[in-house]
Every structure is written in C-alpha cells, then in structure tokens.
C-alpha cells in the first residue's frame, strides 16, 4: 500500500512541475523552482525504496533521499532570507551549499561502509518493504547539520516577527512551518523507528502550496515587477498595489516620493493620510471609471507625476495588480506653469471679452502647432492638411449617418485637429528631424509626444474653452496613435474603448503621412495609399471607417492634387 501512496505523491509532484513549467512565467524564483525540481526526485527515491529487494539497493536510494536534509533544506533557508529581503553574501551561499555538499559526500561515500549506518536490512511489512537501520558514528554529522539549520530557521522566524517592510508574511510563515515541521517529523521518525516516513507526503503538500501561491508570493517582489516595465529605476519610484488598492511592495525611491509608505503595512489598503495617498486613490477610481492612467500631486514645492499600469506575473496572464511609476516633474511643471500663468494673465486682462480670449487661445494653439511643424522638417504642412482632411471625413460621416455624430461634435473634432501633435515640442530636434528610421530608444521617446500633447491641451485650453471641447481636444491629442487591435500607444486601448474622435484623427494622420512627401520618402500613389488604408481597417483603424474613407476618397485625392502635395 505504501508503494502506491508514494507513487501517488510522485505523480502529484511531477504534475506540479509540469503545471508550473507551462505557465510561461516572465521570470522565475530560482529557490522555489529548485525545490519543485528536487521534490519529485526525492519522492521517487522513497517510492523505489519500498520496492528494493536488497539492502544495497536501499543504501543506494538513501543517497537520493538525503537530498532533502542537505541541499533542499539549504535552498529553503536561502529562500526564506530572500522573502525577507535580506541579501545573502556570495561567500555565505558557498559556505551553506558547501556544507550540504560535504554532508552528501559523507552519505554517498560511507553509507556502504558501516560508518554512517552500521546495519541496513529489509522487512516486508505487508504494506510495503520497510528499511530497518542502526546509526553509525558519522550519523552525528547529520544531526549537527540539521541542528544548525533549525537554529537558522528560529532566527529567521524571530527576524520575520520583528521586521517591518514590504514582504509577504503569510508566505514566510507557511514555509517556515513546513520546514520546521519536516525537521521535527524527521527527528520523531528516527526516535520512534517508524517503518515508513511521512515526509514524502509533507513534501508533496509543500510542492502544491508553492504552485498555488507562486503568483501571490511574487507580486510582493518589486524588482521583478519593475524589471518588466522599466530598465532605469534609480530616479523613479515604483509602487505595486492589488486591484483593490492594497499595498504590495515598493522600491526605495518611493519613500522619497511617498513618505507615508514608511508606516504602511503589506496587504493593507494604501494610506490616505497625505495628499499623495489621496491623489493615488483618486487615480485608481478614475482608472476603473474611464481608464485615466496618470495624475499629479505636490509635496512642499515639488511636483510629482504618477502613471498607472496593470501587471501580471505570467505572460498573457490574469491581471493581478497595478504598478504605479512616480517621477519628479518639478522642472516640467514649472515650464507648464509659465504657460498657465500666461493664460491667467490674459484672462484677468480681458475677462469681459471671453470670445476674444478664446480666439486668442486658438491662435496660440495654432501658433504652437506651426512652431512645432517648423521644427519638424519631416512633416511640413501636416497640421493644415490633417485639419482639412478631418473636415472631409467628418462631413462624410454625417452624410452617411452610420456613425452617430452631432453637428456640435463634428465642429469640435475639426477644431481639435491642430492640437494632435503639440507634444512634439518636448521631443529633441535630433530625433524629430532624423531622416532615417528611429532606433528603439528614439522611438520610445517619440511615442511620448501623444501623452505630452494631451497634457498641453489641458494647460492651454482648460478653463478658457468649454469643457466639452477641451475633452474632445484632449482625447484627439492623447489617443490618436491607439490602434483598433490594441497594439497602439500610449495605453494600448482596444476597439471602441478608443474615443471616436481619436479613431477619426488616426485615419487622417496616417493617410496624410502616406500621400505626402517627406524628407525620407517620396509621396506614395493614391492607389497604393488607399489599398494600405483599406487593408488596415479592422487592425489599425476602426473597421466602420472603411466606408467613410471610401466614400470621400475622391474628395481627399482632389484636395491633395489642388494643393500640390
């Protein structure tokens, strides 16, 4: 019977290994994976020992069984230290694994000599082959080693109770109990000379717990989360929250940006005691409501920007929480404040002439758009052309009547078109005017212009123009590079989650890029451009825009012919 029970345990541990291997984890915990690999080997040795026919076979299997109380228990010890966030010096690891290796060498070299076990015999108990043995003089090495490990476990338990900070206490407690429990069980089995060991079943339980808690235990590892989102985290704070807003972990820089974190407990709701905490909670609510991914807050005279994204430990897995990236934006805000102050001055001077202010504001926006265009040698005339093309597309949408759009909305979209590339003012001229293909790093910088465009729209227009129009202009500026299939930026929105005005702007923006001459290319033919646009309907563009594009294609081509593209 014990042969069958050990066999079931072996199958479970192998299944755990296969389950974890097929989950496509972006990064692995080398300690827990080592345990997951070693447990099936150890359980298999226990299973084979119940089928041994000679003492020599049983003695050979002891060499594999002793992996548990040498290497595996050492790995678990270092895993617990890692969970606590305690860095282990390389020489300590060499010492720990070296002692485990010496212990294993003693077992392997002496198990047949009578120095480790004086006698080994097999007894058929009726429920399996049991091994009876009497210890030799070197058996004391084993108890000294286990005693040292047990002492380390107790010290770790004390540290875990007293230590504050971002580590998963539940995970630490579970594996401490399993580790200490295995050593106690091993000692009791030796004292009472039990025929069969219960340790394989305990190891199987531990293996299953590792698999069940692997995701949860690693959402507390800020280095793992940050590595998936950013390569440079020395100047930025990173804060991980669960989807419900419970604090998971953070890096050291976060304490500077969010002082309240110094008293924050893991797995408890993020504190709202200061302005920063309130701003983050406000961002979380807005993210759930309308997809907002960034906010600003102030501490003393410093301004910080907080940007939110979801994360998963597994590739393409279920979203397990939110990662907040916090950076110091004081200098950037000062530049924006100059523009905002200028707006306030204009309002104070001509507050009785609201329409004049709006007209002046539109000129500022157009002036900035033209100034940006003058910096960008690649897209001359792009602002004017896309504004005119947007007008043609919107007219066709209203004519067809398939996409609901009010006259006011149509007017707002046309007026908002010149704002879509305002953020390019923040892009370095060397990147903006590069005639060839951008490098990955340059392209990453270039992609920030959409987010910056949205921020500039709010700074230039908020409080002056009607909120309705400001919202339209913001969405046009921020989201015009989103794609229908979710592969766009800055947020990777999918389908109808992309605002309609941004979907229309995307068609005008790309079509103008195809049919216009640039520094690095000649204009593409109308036929080839139209073929590309139609091919991309349903992937890059809203498929409902295909009939609109085809319906006004002739008018757009006539426009470019008249304007000598």
CATH number for position 234: 3.30.450.20
Q: pLDDT band for 254, please (50, 70, 90 cuts).
A: confident
Tally of domains in the chain: 3
Q: What is the pLDDT of residue 130?
A: 83
Region of poorest pLDDT, from 130-134, 355-359, 380-384: 355-359
Radius of gyration of the chain (CA): 33
224: number of CA atoms within 13 Å, CB side?
23
* Structure token pair of residue 472: 């339209």
Q: What is the pLDDT of residue 218?
A: 64
Are residues 258 and 133 both part of a single domain? no
**Domain holding 197: CATH number?**
1.20.1070
Domain membership flag for residue 296: yes
Which of the listed residues 328, 344, 371 is the one where a domain comes to its end?
328
Domain membership flag for residue 345: no
| Predicted confidence (pLDDT) per residue in 275-324, tens digit | 778 888 888 888 888 888 888 888 788 888 888 888 876 666 678 888 88
Domain membership flag for residue 333: no
Unique residue bearing structure tokens 């990453």: 444
Domain membership flag for residue 265: yes
Q: Cα dihedral sign for 268, 270, 274, 278?
A: negative
> How many other β-carbons are positioned within 10 Å of the β-carbon of residue 117?
22
Unique residue bearing structure tokens 């678990």: 76
Q: How far apart are the first and last CA of the chain?
A: 85
The closest of 182, 180, 184, 173 to 201, measured between CA atoms, is 182
Q: What is the pLDDT of residue 433?
A: 76
Region of poorest pLDDT, from 142-146, 231-235, 481-485, 504-508: 231-235
> How many other β-carbons are positioned within 10 Å of the β-carbon of residue 383?
23
Q: Which domain holds residue 25?
A: 2-218
Higher pLDDT, 507 or 271: 507
* DSSP-assigned letters across all residues of 524-563: PPHHHHHHHHHHTBTTTB-TTHHHHHHHHHHHHHHHHHHT
Per DSSP, the three-state class of 513 is helix
Mean pLDDT of the chain: 83
* Structure token pair of residue 417: 């078109």
pLDDT, mean of residues 254-266: 83
Are residues 555 and 453 both part of a single domain? yes
Which of the listed residues 328, 343, 362 is the one where a domain comes to its end?
328
Cα 60 versus chain centre, distance? 46
Q: Is pLDDT at 380 greater than 70 in this prediction?
A: no
Are residues 96 and 161 both part of a single domain? yes
Q: Cα dihedral sign for 465, 469, 473, 479?
A: positive
pLDDT, mean of residues 269-277: 81
pLDDT, mean of residues 115-119: 85
Are residues 367 and 492 both part of a single domain? yes
Are residues 304 and 242 both part of a single domain? yes
| Predicted confidence (pLDDT) per residue in 311-357, tens digit | 876 666 678 888 888 888 888 788 777 776 776 776 666 555 555 55
Are residues 285 and 387 both part of a single domain? no
Q: Is pLDDT at 449 greater than 60 in this prediction?
A: yes
Q: pLDDT band for 557, please (50, 70, 90 cuts).
A: very high
Q: What is the pLDDT of residue 532?
A: 95
Return all residues near 414 (Cβ < 8 A) that are at least 6 apart.
387, 390, 391, 394
| Predicted confidence (pLDDT) per residue in 28-68, tens digit | 788 889 999 999 999 999 999 888 889 889 889 989 998 98
Q: What is the pLDDT of residue 379?
A: 47
Domain membership flag for residue 336: no
Q: Is pLDDT at 91 greater than 60 in this prediction?
A: yes
Are residues 271 and 179 both part of a single domain? no
Domain membership flag for residue 340: no
Are residues 464 and 541 both part of a single domain? yes
Return all residues near 354 (Cβ < 8 A) that are at least 6 apart.
none
Are residues 55 and 139 both part of a single domain? yes
- What's the length of the chain? 565
Are residues 557 and 477 both part of a single domain? yes
Are residues 411 and 275 both part of a single domain? no
The closest of 137, 1, 117 to 65, measured between CA atoms, is 117
Q: Is pLDDT at 232 greater than 50 in this prediction?
A: no
Unique residue bearing structure tokens 């875990």: 160
Q: How far apart are CA 423 and CA 368, in angstroms?
A: 10
Which of the listed residues 196, 218, 240 is the one where a domain comes to its end?
218
Q: Is pLDDT at 375 greater than 60 in this prediction?
A: no
Domain membership flag for residue 478: yes
Domain membership flag for residue 99: yes
Q: Is pLDDT at 226 greater than 70 in this prediction?
A: no
Are residues 505 and 360 both part of a single domain? yes
């Amino acid at each position: 019977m014990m042969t069958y029970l050990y066999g079931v345990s072996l199958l479970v541990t192998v299944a755990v290994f296969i389950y974890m291997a097929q989950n496509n984890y972006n990064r692995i915990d080398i300690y827990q994976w080592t345990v997951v690999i070693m447990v099936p080997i150890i359980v298999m040795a226990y299973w084979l020992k119940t089928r041994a026919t000679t003492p020599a076979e049983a003695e050979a299997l002891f060499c594999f069984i002793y992996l548990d109380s040498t290497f595996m228990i050492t790995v678990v010890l270092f895993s617990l230290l890692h969970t606590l966030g305690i860095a282990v010096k390389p020489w300590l690891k060499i010492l720990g694994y070296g002692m485990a290796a010496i212990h294993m060498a003693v077992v392997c070299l002496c198990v047949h000599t009578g120095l480790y076990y004086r006698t080994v015999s097999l007894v058929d108990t009726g429920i399996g082959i049991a091994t009876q043995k009497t210890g030799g003089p070197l058996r004391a090495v084993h108890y000294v080693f286990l005693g040292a490990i047990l002492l380390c476990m107790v010290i770790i338990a004390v540290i875990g109770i007293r230590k504050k900070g971002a580590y998963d206490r539940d995970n630490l407690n579970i594996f401490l109990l399993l580790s200490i429990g295995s050593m106690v069980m091993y000692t009791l089995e030796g004292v009472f000379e039990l025929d069969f060991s219960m340790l394989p079943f305990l190891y199987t339980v531990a293996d299953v717990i590792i698999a069940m808690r692997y995701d949860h235990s690693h959402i507390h590892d800020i280095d793992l989360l940050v590595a998936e989102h950013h390569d440079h985290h020395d100047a930025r704070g990173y804060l991980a929250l669960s989807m419900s807003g419970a604090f998971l972990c953070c890096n050291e820089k976060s304490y500077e940006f969010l002082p309240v974190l110094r008293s924050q407990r893991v797995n408890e709701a993020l504190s709202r005691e200061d302005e920063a905490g309130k701003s983050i909670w406000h961002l979380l609510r807005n993210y759930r409501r309308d997809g907002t991914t960034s906010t600003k807050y102030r501490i003393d005279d410093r301004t910080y920007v907080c940007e939110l994204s979801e994360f998963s430990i597994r590739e393409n897995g279920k979203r397990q929480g939110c990662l907040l990236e916090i950076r110091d934006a004081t200098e950037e805000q000062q530049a924006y404040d100059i523009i905002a102050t200028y707006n306030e001055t204009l309002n104070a001077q001509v507050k009785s002439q609201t329409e004049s202010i709006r007209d002046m504001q539109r000129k500022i926006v157009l002036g900035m758009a033209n100034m940006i265009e003058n910096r960008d040698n690649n897209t001359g005339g792009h602002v004017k052309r896309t504004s005119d093309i947007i007008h043609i597309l919107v007219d066709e949408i209203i004519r067809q009547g398939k996409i609901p759009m009010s006259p006011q909305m149509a007017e707002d979209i046309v007026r908002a078109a010149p704002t879509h590339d305002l953020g390019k003012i923040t892009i370095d001229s060397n990147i903006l005017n590069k005639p060839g293909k951008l490098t990955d790093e340059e392209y990453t910088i270039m992609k920030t212009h959409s987010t910056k465009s949205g921020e500039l729209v709010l700074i230039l227009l908020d409080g002056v123009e009607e909120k309705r129009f400001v919202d339209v202009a913001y969405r046009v500026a921020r989201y015009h590079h989103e794609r229908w299939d979710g592969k766009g930026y800055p947020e990777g929105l999918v389908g109808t989650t992309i605002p309609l005005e941004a979907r229309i702007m995307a068609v005008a923006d790309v079509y103008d890029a195809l049919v216009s001459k640039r520094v690095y290319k000649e204009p593409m033919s109308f036929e080839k451009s139209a073929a590309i646009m139609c091919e991309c309907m349903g992937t890059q563009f809203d498929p409902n825009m295909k009939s609109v594009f085809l319906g006004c294609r002739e008018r757009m081509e006539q426009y470019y012919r008249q304007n000598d593209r």
